[in-house]
């Protein structure tokens, strides 16, 4: 089996996963137990993240990660309506999250939620042009100018510290043209970590609560990764080649998705 997996094309299993997903799409939507954000209850939401699987470098020499450590990275796009990944790419662990998935711009009206590993001026501009809504963490060293502070509710949403309209004004922002776009920056206090996180989006209309709850949805994909690692033997491969490892990971996705 190991010798066979050196030659067997893992894309067959990738194709099978996507075909099965398409076949059961309606069932998955009807049986979904996702949390609903009322203001955007009918919107198409994608969550993007990745997780790293450690491998023994002596056995998986193609998956060099650090000096004495190997690994692969599973780049994932999670469909909130289906509560299942609808786009997966498996790479060496050293591949940066920003370049792990080819499709980061989606159809008109799609909401994209991700962490700041995907924060990129050019990508943000492309999404605005495609009429996507992005919700992500702003990088701490990002330069911006606040042009308007929005009112906050008096008696609710006490975790929302500040809500403002900003423009990015660094040299790189000017070079890419993103400085011409008004963006929204919502400051949210996380009591469990005793810190304030800053969430940036191109949507200027929704409530700050909706923006904060959208970013919180990232826990859905985090919990999926956790379940995958805890419940399945994903370190046992029928072969140590790159093809065998990718083949096994698509089998894992099919199993945990059931």
Among 40, 126, 39, smallest CA distance to 80 is for 40
pLDDT in tens, 42-81: 899 999 999 887 765 445 555 566 655 667 788 999 999 8
d(CA 122, CA 124): 5
Q: For residue 58, what pLDDT is reported?
A: 47
Q: For residue 26, what pLDDT is reported?
A: 76
What average pLDDT values come out for the chain (258 residues) when binned by 10 residues? 60 74 74 82 93 63 59 87 86 86 92 95 96 96 96 88 97 97 97 94 97 94 85 54 56 52
pLDDT in tens, 226-242: 887 776 655 555 555 55
3-class SS of residue 11: helix
Answer whether 127's CB lies under 8 Å from 202's CB.
yes
Q: What are 219's two structure tokens? A: 């826990």
Where does residue 214 fall: left (phi above 0), alpha (psi -120 to 50 degrees), or beta otherwise?
alpha
d(CA 204, CA 72): 38
d(CA 155, CA 152): 9
d(CA 183, CA 228): 36
Q: For residue 244, what pLDDT is reported?
A: 55
- For the chain, the distance separating the N- and C-terminal CA atoms, rounded to the nearest angstrom, is 25
Q: For residue 257, what pLDDT is reported?
A: 52
What does pTM read for this prediction? 0.81
Q: For residue 88, what pLDDT is reported?
A: 85
DSSP letters for 177-214: TGGGS-EEEEEEEETTTTEEEEEEES--SS-HHHHHHH
Answer whether 121's CB lies under 8 Å from 172's CB.
yes
d(CA 240, CA 74): 17
- Tell me how crowded residue 126 is: count the other CB atoms within 10 A of its CB: 15
Q: Is 23 exposed, middle or buried (0-12, 13-18, 19+ CB in 10 A)?
A: exposed
Q: For residue 109, what pLDDT is reported?
A: 96
3-class SS of residue 90: strand
Q: What are 146's two structure tokens? A: 């606040």
Q: For residue 18, what pLDDT is reported?
A: 73
Q: Is 156 exposed, middle or buried (0-12, 13-18, 19+ CB in 10 A)?
A: exposed
Among 35, 1, 30, 21, smallest CA distance to 212 is for 35
Per the listing, tokens 């826990």 go with 219
3-class SS of residue 114: strand
């Amino acid at each position: 089996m190991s010798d066979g997996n050196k030659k067997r094309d893992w894309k067959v299993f990738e194709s099978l996963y996507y075909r099965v997903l398409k076949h059961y799409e309606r069932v998955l939507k009807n049986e979904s137990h996702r949390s609903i954000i009322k203001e955007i209850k009918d919107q198409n939401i994608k969550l993007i993240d990745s997780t790293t699987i450690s491998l023994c470098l002596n056995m998986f020499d193609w998956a060099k990660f650090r000096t004495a450590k190997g690994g692969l990275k599973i780049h994932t796009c999670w469909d909130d309506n289906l509560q299942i990944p609808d786009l997966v790419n498996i790479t060496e662990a050293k591949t940066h999250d920003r370049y792990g998935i080819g499709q980061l711009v989606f159809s008109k009206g799609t909401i994209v939620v991700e962490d700041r590993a995907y924060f990129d001026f050019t990508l943000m501009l492309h999404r605005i042009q495609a009429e996507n809504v992005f919700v992500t963490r702003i990088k701490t060293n990002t330069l911006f100018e606040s042009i308007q502070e929005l009112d906050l509710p008096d008696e609710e949403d006490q975790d929302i510290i500040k809500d403002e309209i900003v423009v990015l004004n660094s040299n790189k922002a000017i070079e890419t043209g993103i400085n011409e776009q008004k963006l929204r920056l919502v400051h949210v206090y996380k009591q469990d970590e005793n810190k304030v996180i800053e969430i940036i989006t191109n949507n200027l209309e929704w409530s700050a609560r909706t923006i904060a709850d959208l970013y919180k949805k990232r826990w859905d994909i985090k919990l999926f990764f956790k379940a995958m690692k805890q419940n399945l033997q994903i370190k046992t491969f029928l072969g140590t080649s790159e093809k065998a490892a990718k083949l096994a990971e698509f089998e894992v996705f099919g199993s945990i998705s059931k």
